[in-house]
Structure 1
Amino acid sequence: MKTLLVPYYEHPAERPDAWDAVVAAAPRLYGVVLNPADGPGTAPDPAFAAVAERLRAAGVRVLGYADTDYARRPHSAVVHDLLRHRDWYGADGAFLDQVSAEPGALPHYRRLTVAARAAGARTLVLNHGVHPDPGYAQLAELLVTFEGPWDTYRDLVLPLWTAAHPPERFCHLIYAAPPNARAAAAVHCLVPGTGAHPWGTLPHALEPAR
């Protein structure tokens, strides 16, 4: 089962061995979030284009990162990012970050969902970081319902509405996690990283055996 969603935010030219490990893990990957510059950047990055091509050749979903700033970022700016990910990196999916969990923002995200599909996103991931209003489950293939440190994750309580959906519809992104940590979600990523940039470390599952 493809269980790992990898948000690895390091430049391929600076960490080629780590990216080799990500590509080699293709059979286990739900997808990889491509994030050259808090989005696609202002111009194509050849190193990211090359690693995206390798991922696609290995059968891995390439998810273009776009920040939505909890529905505050203009619709057009988010769509512009998704189109650049498609045109520059061949992204076949979208990872929308900082997604509101509130029911009042659902119309905004419905519009973004339609636009993302029109931009070629066959897989849509919404990163709320918390459990959102149940209505969001109708919009995307995958909801990130936890993003945070392991110490907080240990006390996570799953709301009852999640039981009405298959477990592979939910993802937990956990940092500052010990090597033996386990996630409750079918799709997940547990990394040792801490601080302001935890997603600059590989998941424990992809680290070489010692």
Structure 2
Amino acid sequence: MKTLLVPYYEHPAEQPDAWDALVAAAPRIHGVVLNPASGPGAAPDPAFAAVAEQLRAAGVRVLGYADTDYARRPHAAVVRDLLLHRDWYGTDGAFLDQASADPEALPYYRRLAVAARAAGAETLVLNHGVHPDPAYAELADLLVTFEGPWDSYRGLAVPLWTAAHPPERFCHLVYAAPPEARASAAVHCLVPGAGAHPWGTLPHALEPAR
């Protein structure tokens, strides 16, 4: 069962063993977020293009990262990122980060969802980091309803409206997690990393042997 959504923000040339571990774990991986430079970067990166091709060949969704700055980033800038991810790295999905959870921002994300699908995104992920207004479930294939440290995750309350949707529609991204940590979401990623850059580590079960 594909349960892992992995945002791994390290360069393939610097961490080749970790990227090899992601490819090897393909049967367990729901998707990998590709993020060369807080987006696609200024120019194509051959190393990221190569790992994206390997992941796709292994049957893994490759999701292009784009920051939405809680609905403050211009629509055209976000769409440009998604198009560059598609053209340079062959991404087949989109991971929209810093997504607003407020109902007032729904028109912004509704328009982005249409544009992402038109750009070839077969899978659309909205990373709210919290439980958003229930209407967001109509826009995306997967909602990230928690992003934060393990200490906060252990007390997570889940709103009743989520029961109206399949468990596979929700994802939890947890950092500073101990090896024995377990997720309560069907799709998840629990990593040991902490501090300003926790997503430079893989889930415990995928860490390559030293």
Checking the alignment, whether the CA contact within 8 Å between 2:4 and 2:30 is kept in structure 1 is: yes
Whether the 8 Å contact between 2:52 and 2:62 is mirrored in structure 1 is yes
In structure 2, what is the Cα distance between the partners aligned to 1:139 and 1:124? 8
Q: Residue 51 of structure 1 aligns with which residue?
A: 51
Q: What is residue 107 of structure 1 aligned with on the other side?
A: 107
* Residue 204 of structure 1, CA deviation: 1.1
Check conservation: 2:179, 2:204, Cα contact below 8 A: yes
Matches within 5 A, 1:74-153: 74-153=74-153
Unaligned runs of 5+ in 1: none
Structure 1 counterpart of 2:185: 185
Task: Give CA deviations for 1:115-146 in whole Å, capped at 9, x if unaligned.
Answer: 00000000000000000000000000000000
In structure 1, what is the Cα distance between the partners aligned to 2:31 and 2:134? 23
For residues 33-77 of structure 1, what are the alpha-carbon distances to aligned partners after superposition, in whole Å with 9 as ceiling and x for unaligned?
000000000100000000000000001000000000000000000
Q: Which residue of the partner structure matches residue 197 of structure 1? A: 197
Conserved 8 A contact 2:18-2:208: no
- Contact 2:65 2:96 (8 Å CA) reproduced: yes
1:5 aligned counterpart, secondary structure: strand
What SS class does the counterpart of residue 9 from structure 1 fall into? coil
Amino acid at match of 2:54: R
Q: Quick one: percent identity of the two aligned structures?
A: 87
Counterpart secondary structure, 1:38: coil
Using the alignment, how far apart are the partners of 1:81 and 1:186 within structure 2? 28
- Number of residues of Structure 1 aligned to a counterpart in Structure 2: 210
Matching residue of 2:8: 8
Amino acid at match of 1:77: A
Q: RMSD value over aligned CA atoms?
A: 0.9
The two structures have a TM-score, normalised by structure 2, of: 0.99
Segments of structure 2 that go 5 or more residues without pairing to the other structure are: none
User: Which residues in structure 2 correspond to 1:61-72 (within 5 Å)?
Assistant: 61-72=61-72
Q: Given the alignment of the two structures, is residue 22 of structure 1 paired with residue 22 of structure 2, yes or no?
A: yes
Measured in 2, the distance between the counterparts of 1:66 and 1:2 equals: 23
Q: Return the TM-score normalized by structure 1.
A: 0.99
Cα deviation code 1:131-169 (max 9, x no counterpart): 000000000000000000000000000000001100000
Structure 1 position 208, deviation (Å): 4.5
Deviation of the 1:205 alpha carbon: 2.0
Please identify runs of 4+ aligned residues in structure 1 that moved more than 3 A: none
Please give the alpha-carbon distance, in whole angstroms, between the structure 1 residues aligned to 2:5 and 2:34: 11
Partner of 1:173: 173
